Structure 1
Amino acid sequence: MAERAYWLAWAQAYGLGPILLKRLCSHFGQLSAAWHADGADLLAVEGIGLGLGSKLVEYRQRVSPGELLARYEQQHPNFWTPADAEYPALLYEITDPPPLLFYRGQTELARALPVMPSVGMVGTRHPSDYGQKWTRRLTQQLAAHDVMVVSGLAKGVDRCAHQQTLDSGGLTIAVLGTGVDQIYPLGNRDLHDRIAHHGLLLSEHPNGTPPDRAHFPRRNRIIAGLSRAVVVTEAPARSGALITAQLANDYGRDVFALPGSLDNPNSAGCLELINQGAQLILNDMTLIAALGQMPQLSQGQPPGEARAEKGDSRSDPSRNRPATTPPVPELSAAMAQVLAAITDEPTALDALVQQLAQPTGEVLATLVQLELMGLITQLPGMRYQRG
């Protein structure tokens, strides 16, 4: 039986949150093993006492993971668990990764995370002109240097970050506190549709889930988990953006803050972050320079059985080849097709996607392989030419 069936089954068990679920998997190696373990063995997992342990044993007796998965997939076909190759390894590194991750859009962007740096851009829903200007300015530079932008599709700073990324030809992931089919706030309908077509929408809540105040602080941990670094451009002293920054710090991510005027209440949160040790944004190249100096995160793999599926860039052996030029006949048909579309003149990623009529993530993954093989060269602004 597929391991994802056990992730789904355990995720539906009352009393097991994301933290306990990850501990359970870490203790037994796989959740299928935990499902068939003796009740006494469950008590060895930190956080599972006699009361919860007995309830879990009773729950296992009346639930069939395979049947549950079959029914669930009929209602919610588009979701990942950590057992699936597409589930972002970067996200699984946090202490409380979502056991179910629902998606809509260009799913290949999730595969691109190990090879593309990602930055979370967050801030107030009511930014000043200064906050909007610098959010757009920083995001434009990130897009120009092939950095994926992650945000929460709220009003204000989130909207500025997503919109500028798309306008600049960059890649963006929006993490929602609703189902990925829900428009919230309603004023973001146009942007929601753009991201669904050109980016990726993610949520830990199934389709049809309406807005709930409790969902949005929880959503922030996913933004932090998907990001190598988190930037707060403008935020008051009490702000969800500060929760994201604190979570990012807890997860070992870098935190940056844009300084602002002492007279602006929306700068109070950023100034406090800087006072606590957040890195200071001094100009529009601060982030780019810092990303180049960051060590690679451990990228520990989720315990899925599908890690080595074809097309999963995390298991692609070409990533470990030296940058020499192999004979062209060794290329796969897909790689040869992309290579044929690249000339000695710089070609933008958008133009390649349009010419090849392939999803952005697939083209990007192939470009990474071709670049590592020494056949093409990547230029600033997500442009490519023959190497």
Structure 2
Amino acid sequence: MAERAYWLAWSQAKGLGPILLKRLHSHFGTLAAAWHAEGADLLDVEGIGLGLGSSLIEYRQTVAPLDLLSRYEQQHPNFWTPADAEYPALLYEITDPPPLLYYRGHSELTSALQMMPSVGVVGTRGPSDYGQRWTRRLAQQLAAHNIIVVSGLAKGVDRFAHQQTLDSGGLTIAVLGTGVDQTYPQAHQALQDNIARQGLLLSEYPNGTPPDRAHFPRRNRIIAGLSRAVVVTEAPARSGALITAHLANDYGRDVFAVPGSLDNPNSAGCLALINQGAQMVLNDMTLVTALGQLPQLSAAPPIATEPRADRTPPSHLPPPPLPPAMAQVLAAIPDEPASLDWLVQELAQPTGDLLATLVQLELLGLVNQLPGMRYQRC
């Protein structure tokens, strides 16, 4: 709990943004060590000068990190810091990871990011029929191949990407520019609720935070940070989606763009990305093929983590209560490995629906997928 408390305490210090906070951690090894460091040692951190250093020393004298954490968790029970094992390791790799990450939905999806590839799907808020069609086609293929779709729940491309992923039985993460308990735009209330039930909502802003113009460009870095690759399906020359693409490139992620007509202003941003070196989407399998060639991620946590005092070790957790549909699939899996075809016939379910349920059971640690699309209870 201690290191989690120091991440929270430092995150509340005025003038200490995500970049400096990560530098502070890298310099001292832990934020607890940074908290107790001599004032002169703080000045050794790049970006901390005399003025900021003095204010940080004064701030430390007014805050008790463990007491702060206790109070804060009462108001905001659902958040992670990089000291928590659930914090996405992929996200911590970027230069400015959010020190606090609030969530709503299936929190185990952040662990799945270490085992399953993820793609950020972004684009214009006003896509043409062509942009809508290709967003849906790509999301459908990603869902069919157990690739997590990440987007920002904005109008247009984001909405089509999330909705098609859910409709295809896939997994999706929405990164919001508001608190996870707020909806913007309001027309996406039903979609946001569905993502909370079937996927995951994330934000660096606490509950109750309303929409703000400055928040949305900031959240783009989280979309890029959570993704192994980012694809822009349709975007004009001055689209916010291009910010996500450029950030992804800076973070070492693969960037893709769907080519469009020279007569369509909505394609200008994608064509510019391709001209700058982005990979061109040539068909609906381009992303799936490319992701299969990326190296596997390590399952290690982002930084040295501490077990939560109120958390039972995973190996001792009782099986979670399951919805009837998931319980039916789990009960149908025999003691010996069963093929996907056998399960489809036994359960009389569409293959896509059954695959989606099996993925959820796998994320819960109840089922193992074996070579040859065979499944076995853990």
| TM-score over 0.5 (shorter chain) | yes
Shift of 1:350: 5.1
> Conserved in 1, the CA contact under 8 Å of 2:89 and 2:300?
yes
Counterparts of 1:242 and 1:353 in 2: how far apart (Å)?
Answer: 31
- Residue in structure 2 matched with residue 46 of structure 1 by the alignment: 46
Q: 1:71-220 maps to which residues of 2 (within 5 A)?
A: 71-220=71-220
- Residue in structure 2 matched with residue 346 of structure 1 by the alignment: 343
SS at match of 2:102: strand
Q: 1:16-35 maps to which residues of 2 (within 5 A)?
A: 16-35=16-35
> Conserved in 1, the CA contact under 8 Å of 2:3 and 2:83?
yes
Counterparts of 1:34 and 1:174 in 2: how far apart (Å)?
Answer: 33
Q: 1:264-283 maps to which residues of 2 (within 5 A)?
A: 264-283=264-283
- Residue in structure 2 matched with residue 326 of structure 1 by the alignment: none
- Post-superposition Cα deviations, 1:238-281, rounded to whole Å, max 9, x if no partner, equal 01100000000000000000000001000000000000000000
Shift of 1:16: 0.3
Cα distance change of structure 1 residues 250 and 311 upon mapping to structure 2, 3 Å threshold: farther
Q: Which AA in structure 2 matches 1:174?
A: A
Shift of 1:2: 1.9
SS at match of 1:119: strand
Cα distance change of structure 1 residues 165 and 159 upon mapping to structure 2, 3 Å threshold: same
- Post-superposition Cα deviations, 1:164-196, rounded to whole Å, max 9, x if no partner, equal 000000000000000000010011111001001
> Conserved in 2, the CA contact under 8 Å of 1:231 and 1:257?
yes
Shift of 1:109: 0.7
- Post-superposition Cα deviations, 1:42-87, rounded to whole Å, max 9, x if no partner, equal 0111100111111100000011101111111111111000011110
- Residue in structure 1 matched with residue 323 of structure 2 by the alignment: none
> Conserved in 2, the CA contact under 8 Å of 1:112 and 1:361?
no
Shift of 1:111: 1.1
- Residue in structure 2 matched with residue 59 of structure 1 by the alignment: 59
> Conserved in 1, the CA contact under 8 Å of 2:182 and 2:208?
yes
Shift of 1:352: 8.3
Q: 1:200-349 maps to which residues of 2 (within 5 A)?
A: 200-296=200-296, 301-306=301-306, 341-342=332-333, 343-344=338-339, 345-347=342-344
> Conserved in 2, the CA contact under 8 Å of 1:116 and 1:147?
yes
Counterparts of 1:289 and 1:351 in 2: how far apart (Å)?
Answer: 23
- Post-superposition Cα deviations, 1:92-140, rounded to whole Å, max 9, x if no partner, equal 0000000000000011111111000000000000000000000000110
Shift of 1:296: 3.4
SS at match of 1:114: coil
SS at match of 2:120: strand
SS at match of 1:132: helix
- Residue in structure 1 matched with residue 348 of structure 2 by the alignment: none
Q: Is residue 7 from structure 1 mapped to residue 1 from structure 2 by the alignment?
A: no
Shift of 1:346: 3.4
Cα distance change of structure 1 residues 57 and 182 upon mapping to structure 2, 3 Å threshold: same
SS at match of 2:82: coil
Counterparts of 2:318 and 2:222 in 1: how far apart (Å)?
Answer: 36
- Residue in structure 2 matched with residue 328 of structure 1 by the alignment: none
Shift of 1:377: 4.3
- Stretch moving more, 341-350 or 125-134: 341-350
> Conserved in 2, the CA contact under 8 Å of 1:142 and 1:148?
yes
- Give the TM-score, by structure 2 length: 0.88
SS at match of 1:346: helix
- Stretch moving more, 338-347 or 38-47: 338-347
- Post-superposition Cα deviations, 1:348-386, rounded to whole Å, max 9, x if no partner, equal 6855887x9xxx756425267x23xxxx4464xxxx545
What number of residue pairs does the alignment pair up? 356
Q: Which AA in structure 2 matches 1:346?
A: L
Identity of aligned residues (%): 74
Counterparts of 2:161 and 2:356 in 1: how far apart (Å)?
Answer: 22
> Conserved in 1, the CA contact under 8 Å of 2:7 and 2:81?
yes
